[in-house]
Amino acid sequence: MLLNKYFTIHSVERRDEDTIFHVTLNPNHEIYRGHFQGNPISPGVCTVEMVKECAQQITEAPLSFANIKNCRFISLLTPASESELLVHINLTESEEGYAIKANVNGQEQAYLTLSGELCVNE
Protein backbone atom coordinates (compact mmCIF):
# COMPACT_ATOMS: atom_id res chain seq x y z
CA MET A 1 0.00 0.00 0.00
CA LEU A 2 2.71 2.50 0.99
CA LEU A 3 5.96 0.81 -0.10
CA ASN A 4 7.56 2.61 -3.08
CA LYS A 5 4.87 5.31 -2.90
CA TYR A 6 4.93 6.78 0.60
CA PHE A 7 8.37 5.41 1.46
CA THR A 8 11.23 3.46 -0.09
CA ILE A 9 13.62 0.97 1.49
CA HIS A 10 17.32 1.65 0.81
CA SER A 11 19.08 -1.03 2.72
CA VAL A 12 18.40 -3.79 5.22
CA GLU A 13 20.59 -5.09 8.08
CA ARG A 14 19.72 -8.43 9.63
CA ARG A 15 20.94 -9.66 13.01
CA ASP A 16 19.21 -12.84 14.14
CA GLU A 17 15.63 -11.86 15.03
CA ASP A 18 16.31 -8.16 14.56
CA THR A 19 16.13 -6.36 11.24
CA ILE A 20 16.85 -2.69 10.60
CA PHE A 21 15.39 -1.06 7.49
CA HIS A 22 16.84 2.23 6.27
CA VAL A 23 13.91 4.03 4.66
CA THR A 24 13.19 7.37 3.03
CA LEU A 25 9.84 9.17 3.13
CA ASN A 26 8.38 10.68 -0.03
CA PRO A 27 7.36 14.27 0.84
CA ASN A 28 5.27 14.47 -2.36
CA HIS A 29 2.85 11.65 -1.47
CA GLU A 30 -0.80 12.61 -2.03
CA ILE A 31 -1.69 12.03 1.66
CA TYR A 32 0.03 15.34 2.54
CA ARG A 33 -2.64 17.20 0.55
CA GLY A 34 -5.00 16.47 3.45
CA HIS A 35 -2.69 15.92 6.45
CA PHE A 36 -2.64 18.82 6.76
CA GLN A 37 -3.31 21.48 4.12
CA GLY A 38 -0.12 23.55 3.78
CA ASN A 39 1.33 21.83 6.85
CA PRO A 40 2.57 18.33 5.93
CA ILE A 41 2.74 16.01 8.96
CA SER A 42 3.22 12.26 8.52
CA PRO A 43 0.09 10.47 9.78
CA GLY A 44 0.96 8.25 12.76
CA VAL A 45 -1.03 5.40 11.23
CA CYS A 46 1.20 5.55 8.13
CA THR A 47 4.24 5.01 10.36
CA VAL A 48 2.46 1.93 11.78
CA GLU A 49 1.64 0.69 8.26
CA MET A 50 5.29 1.25 7.25
CA VAL A 51 6.35 -1.02 10.16
CA LYS A 52 3.94 -3.72 8.92
CA GLU A 53 5.13 -3.44 5.33
CA CYS A 54 8.76 -3.74 6.48
CA ALA A 55 7.76 -6.85 8.50
CA GLN A 56 6.23 -8.28 5.30
CA GLN A 57 9.67 -8.02 3.70
CA ILE A 58 10.95 -10.37 6.41
CA THR A 59 8.08 -12.87 6.33
CA GLU A 60 7.64 -12.65 2.53
CA ALA A 61 3.91 -13.10 3.20
CA PRO A 62 1.09 -10.54 3.48
CA LEU A 63 0.36 -9.73 7.13
CA SER A 64 -2.39 -8.13 9.20
CA PHE A 65 -2.24 -6.87 12.75
CA ALA A 66 -4.17 -9.24 15.03
CA ASN A 67 -3.55 -6.86 17.90
CA ILE A 68 -1.51 -3.85 18.90
CA LYS A 69 -0.78 -4.08 22.60
CA ASN A 70 0.94 -0.75 22.82
CA CYS A 71 1.83 1.83 20.23
CA ARG A 72 3.30 5.13 21.33
CA PHE A 73 3.88 8.13 19.08
CA ILE A 74 6.82 9.89 20.67
CA SER A 75 7.28 12.96 18.50
CA LEU A 76 5.72 14.54 15.44
CA LEU A 77 7.19 13.40 12.15
CA THR A 78 7.31 15.73 9.16
CA PRO A 79 8.61 14.46 5.80
CA ALA A 80 10.48 17.71 5.18
CA SER A 81 12.53 17.75 8.38
CA GLU A 82 13.26 14.06 8.68
CA SER A 83 12.96 12.00 5.52
CA GLU A 84 15.52 9.30 6.44
CA LEU A 85 14.38 6.86 9.10
CA LEU A 86 15.49 3.62 10.74
CA VAL A 87 12.74 1.03 11.19
CA HIS A 88 13.91 -1.54 13.71
CA ILE A 89 11.86 -4.75 13.80
CA ASN A 90 12.09 -7.77 16.09
CA LEU A 91 9.89 -10.68 14.95
CA THR A 92 9.37 -13.95 16.80
CA GLU A 93 6.84 -16.72 16.25
CA SER A 94 3.69 -16.50 18.38
CA GLU A 95 0.22 -17.95 18.75
CA GLU A 96 -1.28 -15.55 16.16
CA GLY A 97 1.68 -15.90 13.78
CA TYR A 98 4.35 -13.40 14.78
CA ALA A 99 4.99 -11.22 17.80
CA ILE A 100 6.44 -7.89 16.74
CA LYS A 101 8.41 -5.28 18.62
CA ALA A 102 9.32 -2.26 16.56
CA ASN A 103 10.63 1.24 16.83
CA VAL A 104 11.10 4.02 14.31
CA ASN A 105 13.88 6.54 14.82
CA GLY A 106 15.37 9.47 12.96
CA GLN A 107 18.90 10.83 13.29
CA GLU A 108 18.24 12.27 16.74
CA GLN A 109 14.57 11.75 17.52
CA ALA A 110 12.52 8.68 18.37
CA TYR A 111 9.12 8.60 16.65
CA LEU A 112 7.37 5.33 17.42
CA THR A 113 7.49 2.25 19.60
CA LEU A 114 5.07 -0.60 18.96
CA SER A 115 4.36 -4.09 20.27
CA GLY A 116 1.70 -6.49 19.06
CA GLU A 117 0.99 -9.54 16.96
CA LEU A 118 0.72 -10.07 13.24
CA CYS A 119 -1.09 -12.89 11.45
CA VAL A 120 -0.48 -14.13 7.92
CA ASN A 121 -3.39 -13.28 5.59
CA GLU A 122 -5.33 -16.25 4.25
Partner 1 sequence: MSYTTTDIEQLIPQRAPIVMLDTFSRIDEKNYASELTIREDNIFCVGDKFAEVGIIEHIAQTAAAYTGYKHLVEADSVKLGYIGDVKNCRFTVYPSKGDTLHTTIRIVSEINDITLITAETKVADQLVATCKMKLATDESK
Q: Which helix (H) or strand (E) holds 55?
A: helix 44-59
- Of positions 9, 20, 58, 71, contacts partner 1 by CB under 8 A: 71
Looking at 9-17, 18-26, 41-49, 87-95, which segment touches partner 1 (CB under 8 A)?
A: 41-49
Distance CA 26, CA 50 (A): 12
Q: CB of 77 within 8 A of CB of 41?
A: yes
* Nearest by Cα to 118 from 48, 14, 24: 48
- Of positions 8, 28, 59, 67, contacts partner 1 by CB under 8 A: 67
Residue 33 in the binding site for partner 1 (CB under 8 A): yes
- Of positions 12, 22, 73, 94, contacts partner 1 by CB under 8 A: 73
